[in-house]
Homo-oligomer: A and B are copies of this chain.
């Protein structure tokens, strides 16, 4: 049974570290969510540590830093954790050299920043039709050793074939974004989890998950920010399958907000520490 709270101020003294999902909490479908923006600002003003953790792999951390700066949310680049960045950290740690990027530029930028090369699916955005001959002519670059999937609004079948052939020749398959969809004006727009699902079906291979709900992100956040007490950390998000599940997987408390993909009615059935309709009024 989750506790209903009216505002983030209700629990502000219980935690020192607040990890925010962005899409569905701070903005949704290209529009800012006032209560989310103000909740973040209030916590920063009160001297709390605020981190941003997103599964959206379309933008680099620098891009998020600029968006947050533009709405007067004062943070550090180092407090922004995107699944693209976490993917780059994982690939670097495991010595991968070159990725086929089935996502878009956010992934390329983060990988490049850590010295990992990419071949970008963007290159194939105009390849509309795949015949047997075209399929036979696709020979993935020999030095590609991993495939990264993410949200990609210019995804097409040619890209799928290329990625599938990389995995068939033995490449590692990392999913930077398992979110099934993002909400845009009350309709669901397919997201990175859909790209992950089609490639898993096309290859019979499960992907390795680096973004939420994988607990990898919390390990990195705690290590880089010298946090040693998990009970002082809370995750705030709109998605039960990623944000709230992430909290469970990490053993930290969670706040589910109903400003994103989860309605107030649906929230009643989610196992979360707190539920909140407006983060700050």
Q: Within 8 Å of chain B (Cβ to Cβ): is A156?
A: yes
Q: A180-B204, A188-B202, A201-B180 are in contact. Are A155 and B156 (CB under 8 A)?
A: yes
Selecting from A63-71, A84-92, A112-120, A129-137, the interface stretch reads A129-137
Q: Are A164 and B188 in contact (CB under 8 A)?
A: yes
Q: Which of A123-163 contact B (CB under 8 A)?
A: 125-126, 128-132, 135-136, 152-157, 160-161
- Of A128, A129, A184, most B-chain CB atoms within 10 Å: A128
Among candidates B131, B161, B165, B190, residue contacting A161 with C-beta atoms closer than 8 Å: B190
Q: Are B168 and A157 in contact (CB under 8 A)?
A: no
> Chain A binding site: helix, strand, loop or mixed by DSSP?
mixed
Contacts of A223 in B (CB 8 A): none
- Closest B residue to A152 by beta carbon equals B157
Q: Are A154 and B129 in contact (CB under 8 A)?
A: yes
Q: How far is the CA of A126 from the CA of B126 in the complex (A)?
A: 8
Among candidates B126, B160, B185, residue contacting A190 with C-beta atoms closer than 8 Å: B160
Q: Within 8 Å of chain B (Cβ to Cβ): is A260?
A: no
Q: Are A157 and B156 in contact (CB under 8 A)?
A: yes
Number of copies: 2
Q: Within 8 Å of chain B (Cβ to Cβ): is A181?
A: yes
Contacts of A190 in B (CB 8 A): 157, 160-161, 164, 198, 201-202
Q: Are A188 and B201 in contact (CB under 8 A)?
A: no
**Chain A contact residue count (CB 8 A cutoff):** 40
Contacts of A181 in B (CB 8 A): 202
Q: Are A184 and B125 in contact (CB under 8 A)?
A: no
Q: A136-B184, A198-B197 are in contact. Are A128 and B154 (CB under 8 A)?
A: yes
Interface string of A182-216 (1 = CB under 8 A from B): 00110111100111011011111000000000000
Q: Within 8 Å of chain B (Cβ to Cβ): is A47?
A: no
Q: A132-B30, A154-B129 are in contact. Are A193 and B203 (CB under 8 A)?
A: no
Q: How far is the CA of A104 from the CA of B126 in the complex (A)?
A: 19
Contacts of A168 in B (CB 8 A): 187-188
Contacts of A135 in B (CB 8 A): 184, 187, 189
Q: Footprint of B on A, CB under 8 Å?
A: 29-30, 125-126, 128-132, 135-136, 152-157, 160-161, 164-165, 168, 180-181, 184-185, 187-190, 193-195, 197-198, 200-204
Which 8 A/B pairs are nearest by Cβ-Cβ distance?
Answer: A190-B202, A197-B201, A198-B198, A156-B156, A130-B153, A155-B157, A30-B132, A194-B202
**Can you report 16 A-B residue pairs in the complex whose CB atoms are below 8 A from each other?**
A29-B132, A30-B132, A130-B153, A130-B154, A132-B189, A136-B184, A136-B185, A152-B157, A155-B156, A155-B157, A156-B157, A157-B190, A180-B201, A193-B201, A195-B198, A198-B198
